[in-house]
Amino acid sequence: MAKYKNHILVCGGTGCRASQGEEIVQNLGKVLEENSLENEVQVVRTGCFGFCEKGPVVKMVPDNTFYVQVTPEDAPEIVAEHLVKGRKVERLLFTDPETQERVSESKDMGFYKKQIRIALRNCGFINPENIDEYIARDGYAALGKVLTEMTPEEAIKVIIDSGLRGRGGGGFPTGLKWEITRKVEAEQKYVVCNADEGDPGAFMDRSILEGDPHAVLEAMAINGYCTGATKGLIYIRAEYPLAISRLKIAIDQAREYGLLGTGLFGTDYDFDVELRYGAGAFVCGEETSLIHSMEGLRGEPTVKPPFPSESGYKGMPTNVNNVETYANIPVILLEGAEWFSSIGTEKSKGTKVFALAGKVNNVGLIEVPMGTTLREVIFDIGGGIKDGKKFKAVQTGGPSGGCLTEKHLDIPIDYDNLIACGSMMGSGGMIVMDEDDCMVSVAKFYLDFTVEESCGKCAPCRIGNKRLYEMLEKLTEGKGTEEDLTLLRNLSNVIKDTSLCGLGQTSPNPVLSTMENFADEYAAHVHDGKCPAGQCKSLMQYVISDEKCIGCTLCSRVCPVDAITGDKKEPHLISQETCIKCGACYEKCKFGAISIQ
């Protein structure tokens, strides 16, 4: 094996690849060759660094210089300056928005300071397509330890004592689930990894699979040993081609090394993993639906009990855990239950990965200890609201969750606290909204999603959500009545109480939580026919102020439908009949002459 003096780590996550990450890798390789450095410096494609806002990210090892927003054209300068002359490329360093100073190491950035990376420990550190790099970071050591030194009961006890709860949203104690599956007698048992990450705006599972696929395979093998299963299945979204390809490579390498297959670590324990593909159905995140989908059926849920731990895939006991849950397992077994349970709150241990997105300065993937407050996440890590606007709400838990407001900002985040405020942890999507977002529209957006994703099996979810959507539509058109508001609340509660599976039982949450926290906004739509955020098209119009308009003509040039007329240096006018209310003029006007009425 060649020994390299330096490594250049290039983020190979989906986000950075979409911004020419692959071209950066290729250009770096080319320039290194031109400088005859290819035997001294290695370019490594890693998993996601998390700081997607500033991607593509390139990290120099060993000095840990962290370059942001790198382009393929920057490759020659990075090599010539950083590697040859030993000088940092100042212009590619991160600028602290508060102090305006250049920061060269990630540990000094606000975005990373409060994070503890357990599930994401290897993302952005190792090449996910090379099993040796995983092994070098204690990979497969936990599996070896469990197989050769521990009984399944002992290993399960460690997981129970650690307090780890399911990271897919439900928060069920993981060790307990394993114990239940273990106790059921059956000829064949299965362990399943739920990688059907369907929450829009959540991408932590994808990033783990792309950045550290072996961690999931190792944990599944441990899970198999503990529960008595010899077969593992990963149910993954077909929309994640990169994660699929990295998983396939990882499975092949693990088989080659004898870490999957027969007689693992010289014991008589056999375990192997297969992939199953999803096909775009949100409901398949629910375990019983997921199992039906793996069996080649429509992914419709069935009533629990029986739980999959008793009767799941092909009628056999099946233990289903989520990707992030699995990613925690090997570390817990190596470091011990006590270490893990020392992090977090009383009832929620460890860390949680959140996909921070929306109107926040630092969009990205973060991992924080349970008990961190929303304020710390949004303002310290997230760097506050974009364009200096005012924070309005944060949506957690995806389509099943709710919108939290200013008054919830100082609540420590954990499973129970979020539920107590009318939202939930969900898989960890966190969407930040500012003053320009209309909460009635947001509720409608989620209902639109639910209506489309409802499998149609039970009436409350299939019909009820559609009616909720129609009522919300009426509100956003200014045609809602006081009676609609009462009906909206009542119907929401009926759907929650009577739906068959988790999808319907939680789908009215966005409606209920916005009605609770933004009652004024609902009232404004009904009583005043106004949308305070200026988002509902039927309730607003764009108007140019004669006093402020200097006639620069910019607005008329950006208008896609030529609705704006006026001579140079004369005030312009918007034809309300032609205007499609796209807002392009409003965003472009430099003089604040266009307002929403």
Partner 1 sequence: MADIKLPAGKVDELKEVCKKLGNEGGELINALHAAQELFGYLPAEVQELVANEMNVSVAHVYGVVTFYSFFSMIPKGEHPISICMGTACYVRGAEKVLDEFKRHLDVKVGETTEDGKFSISCLRCVGACGLAPVVTVGEKVYGRVAAEDVKGILEEYK
- 278 binds partner 1, rule: CB under 8 A: yes
The nearer residue to partner 1, 89 or 355, going by C-beta atoms, is: 355
Q: For partner 1, which residue of 4, 265, 277, 339 counts as binding (CB under 8 A)?
A: 277
Count of residues in the chain = 597
Q: Report the alpha-carbon distance of residue 364 to residue 387 in Å, rounded.
A: 17
In contact, 311 and 320? CB cutoff 8 Å: no
The nearer residue to partner 1, 108 or 448, going by C-beta atoms, is: 448
Stretch in the footprint of partner 1 (CB under 8 A) among 237-245, 325-333, 337-345, 520-528: 237-245
Coil, strand or helix at 393: strand
Coil, strand or helix at 589: coil
- 270 binds partner 1, rule: CB under 8 A: no
Q: For partner 1, which residue of 173, 201, 261, 478 counts as binding (CB under 8 A)?
A: 201
- 384 binds partner 1, rule: CB under 8 A: no
Q: For partner 1, which residue of 293, 322, 506, 514 counts as binding (CB under 8 A)?
A: 293
Q: For partner 1, which residue of 45, 182, 206, 246 counts as binding (CB under 8 A)?
A: 206
Q: For partner 1, which residue of 142, 378, 433, 475 counts as binding (CB under 8 A)?
A: 433
Helix locations, 336-425, DSSP H:
337-341, 374-375, 415-420
Q: Report the alpha-carbon distance of residue 176 to residue 182 in Å, rounded.
A: 10
In contact, 424 and 401? CB cutoff 8 Å: yes
The nearer residue to partner 1, 19 or 104, going by C-beta atoms, is: 19
Q: For partner 1, which residue of 97, 258, 263, 280 counts as binding (CB under 8 A)?
A: 280
Q: Report the alpha-carbon distance of residue 207 to residue 321 in Å, rounded.
A: 17
C-alpha closest to that of 234 among 298, 300, 279, 278: 278
How near is the Cβ of 153 to partner 1 at its closest, in Å?
33
How near is the Cβ of 582 to partner 1 at its closest, in Å?
5
- 532 binds partner 1, rule: CB under 8 A: no
- 223 binds partner 1, rule: CB under 8 A: no
Give the interface size with partner 1 as a residue count (CB under 8 A): 58
Please report where in the chains the tokens 């009542």 appear, as a residue: 490
CA angle 155, 274, 22 (to 5 degrees): 105
Site string for partner 1, 342-361 (x = CB under 8 A): -------------x-xxx--
- 112 binds partner 1, rule: CB under 8 A: no
Strand bridging mode 351-358 / 429-434: parallel
Helix locations, 106-212, DSSP H:
110-113, 131-136, 141-149, 152-162, 174-183, 204-211
The nearer residue to partner 1, 131 or 360, going by C-beta atoms, is: 360
- 18 binds partner 1, rule: CB under 8 A: yes
Residue 374 is classified by DSSP as: H
CA angle 565, 568, 571 (to 5 degrees): 60
Please give the helix or strand (H or E) that residue 325 lies within, else none: helix 323-335
The nearer residue to partner 1, 308 or 358, going by C-beta atoms, is: 358
Q: Both tokens of residue 4? A: 């390299």
How near is the Cβ of 64 to partner 1 at its closest, in Å?
22
Q: Report the alpha-carbon distance of residue 220 to residue 414 in Å, rounded.
A: 25
Q: For partner 1, which residue of 12, 15, 169, 228 counts as binding (CB under 8 A)?
A: 15
- 14 binds partner 1, rule: CB under 8 A: yes
Coil, strand or helix at 196: coil
The nearer residue to partner 1, 161 or 436, going by C-beta atoms, is: 436
Q: Report the alpha-carbon distance of residue 216 to residue 260 in Å, rounded.
A: 12
Beta bridge partners of 319: 191
- 497 binds partner 1, rule: CB under 8 A: no
Chain positions contacting partner 1, by CB under 8 A = 14-15, 18-19, 52-53, 55, 198-203, 206-207, 238-240, 276-282, 293, 295-299, 314, 355, 357-359, 363-364, 395, 398, 429, 431-433, 437, 442, 445-446, 449, 452, 455, 558, 560, 580, 582-584, 587
